[in-house]
Amino acid sequence: MEFCYFLTLDSFITDPLTHDFMRKALLMSSLVAAVCGFLSSYLTLKGWALMGDAVSHSVMPGVVVAYALGLPFSLGAFIFGVGSVALIGFIKQKSRVKEDTVIGLVFTGFFALGIVLVSKIKSNIDLHSILFGSPLGISLSDVKQTIFISLLVVILLSIFRKDLMLYCFDPRHAKTVGINVFFLHYLLLTCLSLAAVVGLQSVGIILVVAMLITPGATAYLLTDKFDNMTVISVLSAIISSLIGIYVSFWFDLETGGSIVLAQTFIFLFAFLFAPRYGIFKLKKLFAGYK
Amino acid sequence: METINYQNFRIQAENICVDYNGKVALYDANLRLKPGQICGLVGMNGAGKTTFFNALTGFVNISKGKIRINGESVRSAQKDQTIAYVPQNEGIDSQFPISVWDVVMMGRYGSMNIFRSPRESDVQAVKDAIERVDLTDHLSTPIGNLSGGQRKRTFLARAIAQRASILLLDEPFSGVDIRTEKLISELFIQFKNEGKTILLSTHDMIHVREFCDLVLLINKTVVAYGETSEVFTPENITTTFGGISPDFLLGPES
């Protein structure tokens, strides 16, 4: 990489766009980030970070089996994602083991099964791209799947936006006024599994949980309004993806890791400087100069 | 024995039992309340007060017995917006990014379309409810910035906006300021005159004497139930609280 490229910001941004794979990666990753960011508001408010971690790891064997059978890998991932949650619920109910322990042991079990299956099946599955994502090498059929799933999740979340907010805030009231809480619970889980499936293409199974919780956590520090939180969450997720991909292109870094690091930096920035909830409370600092 | 017309009862719980994975939380509990009655629900922590509420709202399923709300099932009471639940302050996430207006609007969700888009009547109901609890100056305040009393009033407004005929209140007086306490007690009298039925749990024995026509003393099951003046005796209270002297709970009888 020549350093003269950095002389203008313009070429820093436009040069990568001359590559077809980069255009595709930027578009797809932004879409995936938007979907995960949208969902992220709900997961952070519901306190489902660990659940997000569990589901995203549990999809591993589903991906491997689907590849081996020539099925759409999203289908396999979805079945195992929802299955892991059902199993967690079942074990929790039927034993005295605490919930966080059950979540931990179920998802690591599923994840291990996935790794063992990869080593046994020995097909052309690229373990590296599953674990760490491969936004630059996304295939056409994957593009179609990603667009389809992303639209589905966005439509579902948009329709049930307010009900899901109520479900996260006060499920007891939801139930009392005749809203189907059982349905909302599984709707959120379904969206979680689907988002994990599309997210893993960008950043891989190991880091996809970051896509599902970091943007929401960042937004939570910046606003007291739910709608604003959703918007900020989506925007910060998209910006992180763009930054991550550009940085990984110019400095030849792992793309998934770069995207997540960008998210982490944005969170840290909010953590330090958020007007009301940041450590340095910028509002107060500025108030001093009035 | 007189025949009972079940339609006359707002709440009718007959021999209900609730257990959580085999652990009994409430058994053989009975309650009958008519329109315009205010009933106090008194018991120790873990005596099944919240479980009783949960059973009436359908948040938990009963394993035995029967619940009728206005003579109908709990399911149809939910559909008809008959019951409103006002949670304890501790029972909600006060850091949730939501304003007073949005919380009160949630009282209308059950009767809105699938997108929960407010109609003119919903907006009016929310406005009126917020006015009744004297929070008009705090419409867009995030609930995290409210005092305990203001937050309690917000949830009371939600119940008002819902236009429910039955109000279940979990510790309505705990952690509230004098002004809120006065406002809530005034509202109770209005609700009573409007024919609403109120069931409230409380730790404060003085509130029971002050507001409640009836009292239900529970300790996993009903210890005593009836008119406050008859049932709310030192002996019954001692039994309910596992042998603790009522002097300790009430102060010396005046």
Q: Do residues A219 and A226 touch, judged by C-beta distance below 8 A?
A: no
What does the pLDDT look like over B154-164, one tens digit per residue? 999 999 999 99
pLDDT tens for residues A4-52?
545 577 788 888 888 888 999 999 999 999 999 999 999 999 999 999 9
DSSP track, B46-107 = TSSHHHHHHHHHTSS--SEEEEEETTB-HHHHHHTT-EEEE--GGGS-TTSS-BHHHHHHGG
ipTM over 0.95: no
Residue with the bigger pLDDT between B199 and B235: it is: B199
CA separation for the pair A169, A190 (Å, rounded): 19
Verify whether the Cβ–Cβ distance B110 to A170 is below 8 Å: no
A197/A208 Cα distance (integer angstroms) = 9
Nearest chain B CA: its distance from A245 CA (Å): 31
For domain A3-287, give its CATH number from 1.10.260.40, 1.10.3470.10, 1.20.1740.10, 3.40.50.300. Answer: 1.10.3470.10
Give residue limits of the domains in chain B. Answer: 1-82+164-242, 94-159
Determine the residue of chain B that is closest to A159 in CA distance.
B115
* Cβ contact A123:A69 at 8 Å: no
Q: Do B92 and A170 touch (CB under 8 A)?
A: yes
Q: For residue B3, what pLDDT is reported?
A: 52
Among candidate residues B37, B42, B49, B15, the one with its CA nearest the CA of residue B167: B37
Chain A residues with beta carbon closer than 8 angstroms to that of B87: 170, 172-173
Could you read off the pLDDT of B86-121 as tens digits, one per residue? 999 888 999 999 999 999 999 999 999 999 999 999
Task: Report residue A281's pLDDT band, with 50, 70 and 90 as the boundaries.
Answer: confident
Largest CA distance in chain B: 56
Q: What's the count of helices (H) and strands (E) in chain B, helices before strands?
A: 10, 9
Residue A270 to residue A277: CA distance in whole angstroms: 8
Quick one: pLDDT band at residue B207, thresholds 50, 70, 90? Answer: confident
Would you put residue B134 in left (φ > 0), alpha (ψ -120 to 50) or beta? left
Query: Residue A177 and residue B54: Cβ atoms within 8 Å?
Result: no
- Answer yes or no: do A179 and B109 touch at CB < 8 A: yes
Burial of A97 (0-12, 13-18, 19+ CB in 10 A): exposed
- The whole-angstrom separation of Cα B201 and Cα B193 is 20
Average pLDDT of the residues in A98-126: 89
Among residues B142, B38, B162, B56, the alpha carbon closest in space to that of A226 is found at B142
Q: Which CATH architecture has domain B1-82+164-242?
A: 3-Layer(aba) Sandwich (3.40)
Sorted by where each begins, the domain ranges of chain A are: 3-287
Q: What residue type is assigned to position A132 of the chain?
A: F
